[in-house]
Amino acid sequence: MTRFRAASDRLVDADTAVRRAEADRLAAVAAMIDTYPAPTPIVESPAAERVVSAGAQGAGAIGEFVALEVGALLGLSEPAVWSLVHDVANLRARHPLLWAAVAELRVEAWQARKVALAAQDLSAEAARWVDKKLESVWGVVPWPRIRRRLQGLIVRADADLARRKAEIARRDRFLSIRHLGDGTSAIAGLIDTGAALQLQAEITRITTRMRKAGAQEPLPLLAARALEEIATPTTDDNAPARPLADVVVHIAAESLEAQTGVARVLARGGDVGPVLLDQLAHLLGHHRIRVLPVTDLAGDPSVDAYEIPDRIRRQLIIRDDCSVFPFSTSRSRTADLDHTVPYRRSTPGSPAPPGQTRISNLGPLSRREHRAKTAGIWTLSQPEPGVYEWTNRTGRRWRVTRGRTVRLPDLAGTGRMDLAYGHAVVDRPLRIAH
């Protein structure tokens, strides 16, 4: 019994340490918000940092590039960082009692963030009313009961908002298909209830037919098979034209020779992921395939122009399918293609250097990441093709190679902050969209 008591004490101590660390993390983000340098652009520029809302009503404002700083330190993508920054700003300003409860370890950080997110559309006054109503439950009521009470409080706080959100939800339908890389895909969506009932009825009709034919699998599996049957085009003469697929298939040389192995497939519908070679026919059997030229990812083609030709763009996107900013998850297909060394145009008596637009001088960046680099708040070099070394204004450094981010030794005492803003005027072009 003594050993069991010791184990239980250890569990409580570990939980307390986790809660304290998570609370300290939120407090550290709050300190980053408080100490982040106010944007003071030297010249008007499309790349100049803007002041944006730090959260919902009453949560204050912050320079927009703060997310890049926090994300690089925590290894988080920009959307994840903005979610964290907004939650912290909202908790401090709009839920002060809950913020104090987090610091006192009476409530877990993730629970507090869910409250802040759920109440973000309320006015500051209404959010503080909800905060007051929940003051007595932290640490004494389990989270599922708090969550149900929270939903009711939000409706009571602003009934008109609740009605508007219900109307928006009915209009805001969506469908998301995410390929998991193992031959299956996850489907999520929000559709009209009438259509959902019809779909459900059709799935039930097909699964009932399968049961009568002797199928013994669990009902969820049969429902998935039924949806696959609905989605798979028929092959009769009246069938609609098969969809067009642009497909990039990465196959190792040894796999081609042996006719076995694994290919990585990128299609117009998204990343399919690793696929066995003998599965390709099944995977693409319901598409018309457009064959694209073979791309040598080791090549370094170039042109003497600012605009990026499709063949170079395609090669870069295949090599770097995400932004080359530290820990970024922005997809390169929708990103800006940035010149690592800014493009210099010809001037009288000084012709532009040849081959500035080349694979070894390009990298995909999201628009905000691109603007932060163009403004000189972050600096970038590409010592080797596909190797991107970043430095922020405090001298911290990262290397990004093929989607992997590694911290490098800091540049201590280099005066990075002053140099960064100086470069914003001298070295960076104002045009950032490609």
| 262, 276 contact by CB (below 8 A) | yes
pLDDT of 234 strictly over 90: no
Give the single-character DSSP code of 38. P
Q: Which of 134-138, 247-251, 284-288 has the highest mean pLDDT?
A: 134-138
Mean pLDDT value across residues 251-273:
57
Round to whole Å and give the CA distance between 200 and 41. Answer: 56
Three-class SS state of 271: strand
- 296 Cβ contact list (under 8 Å, min separation 6): 315
Q: Please state whether beta strands 270-276 and 262-267 pair in parallel, antiparallel, or not at all (unpaired).
A: antiparallel
Rounded to whole angstroms, how far apart are CA atoms 247 and 289? Answer: 7
pLDDT mean over 355-362: 91
Q: What is the mean pLDDT of the chain?
A: 82
pLDDT, tens digit (0-9, with 9 covering 90-100), for 68-77: 999 999 999 9
Handedness of CA 45, 49, 51, 55 (dihedral sign): positive
pLDDT greater than 60 at residue 428: no
> What tens digit of pLDDT does each residue of 30-61 get?
999 999 998 876 567 788 889 999 999 999 99
Return the minimum-mean-pLDDT range out of 265-279, 357-371, 402-416. Answer: 265-279
Distance of CA 328 to the CA centre of its chain: 7
pLDDT digits (tens, 9 = 90+) for 291-320: 555 556 677 888 888 888 888 888 888 888
* pLDDT interval class at 139 (50, 70, 90): confident
Token pair recorded at residue 124: 């500051």
**Alpha helices (H) in 361-404, listed in sequence order:** 367-374
Q: What share of the chain is helix, strand, coil (3-state, %, to 5)?
A: 45, 20, 35
Q: Return the half-sphere exposure (C-beta side, CA atoms, 13 A cut-off) of residue 155.
A: 7
* In the chain, domain spans: 16-157, 199-231, 321-426
At 84 the pLDDT is 97
Task: Report whether 55 contacts 93 (CB < 8 A).
Answer: yes
Q: Which of 139-143, 379-383, 426-430 has the highest mean pLDDT?
A: 379-383
